[in-house]
Amino acid sequence: MSTLSIFKDITDEEKKHMFHCFTPVTKVFFDGEIIMNYSYKIDKIGIMLDGKAHLSSIDYEGRQSILEQLETNDIFGEVFTPPPENCQYFIEADTACDVLFIDYSQIIKRCPNACPEHSRLVNNLLQMTAAKAQAMALHINILSRRSTRQKLIAYFESEANKSKSEYFTLPMSLSALADYISVDRSAMMREIRKMKECGILSERSGANGRSYALTGGYAEDL
């Protein structure tokens, strides 16, 4: 779940006031449904009120890559991920999702009443845009690694830093992880097995599923 929210420091009463101006639309999507197809121009932003989804791209050769995992409070739309002309971008639900759609023009236009909550919302949007830029930079850093092991270690390190604990739970399936780091799933599973055998990676099962920990001794692999 994102620690940022476009509605940070905005009360429920202030939301009602803004929604009267913005006329947002809330929609429910189920697992596997397409929430948004990116076209030449998208004039709405989506806000994940509940559920999980992912942003994928398909290139001209039909290869699919997962670019971003989306959870509660996350935002999406073309303004945050401008798609190249030769790729197809779409948001697909991983679970049942409640999504709020707002016209982007309504958010960035000058408020005639100079509402303070409108200014806070725009400020929150800028902070979330900056956070998305950081996440994209991290993804590029992972993809730039030359080997599958280096990509896995870079990704596992980022998850360990976010969890602030020795063990961390993956926010996506292993199949989705293979798409995210752009490697063959079978090759990735073999590499994970080798990392366990070498003592680089530890795995344990718990109430929340499988969790992992990097156990050191991998500096030479970076």
Instruction: Please give the pLDDT value at position 167.
Output: 86
In the chain, the amino acid numbered 9 is: D
- What strands lie across the sheet with 97-103, from one edge to the other? 25-29, 97-103, 44-50, 75-76
CA–CA separation, 32 vs 92, rounded Å?
6
CA–CA separation, 64 vs 85, rounded Å?
15
| CATH class label, 146-221 | mainly alpha
Question: Could you read off the pLDDT tens digit of each residue along the chain, which spans 222 residues?
Answer: 456 688 888 888 888 877 777 778 899 999 999 999 886 566 788 889 999 999 988 877 777 888 888 988 888 886 666 556 667 889 999 999 999 998 877 777 766 666 777 788 888 888 888 888 888 889 999 999 999 999 999 999 999 888 877 788 888 889 989 999 999 999 999 999 999 998 899 988 866 678 888 887 665 565
Instruction: Please give the pLDDT value at position 152.
Output: 94
Domain covering 12-142 assigned CATH 3.40.1350.10 in the classification: no
Boundaries of every domain in the chain: 12-142, 146-221
CA–CA separation, 59 vs 86, rounded Å?
6
Q: Return the structure tokens found at 120.
A: 């806070």
Q: Return the structure tokens found at 174.
A: 């292993």
Instruction: Please give the pLDDT value at position 181.
Output: 93
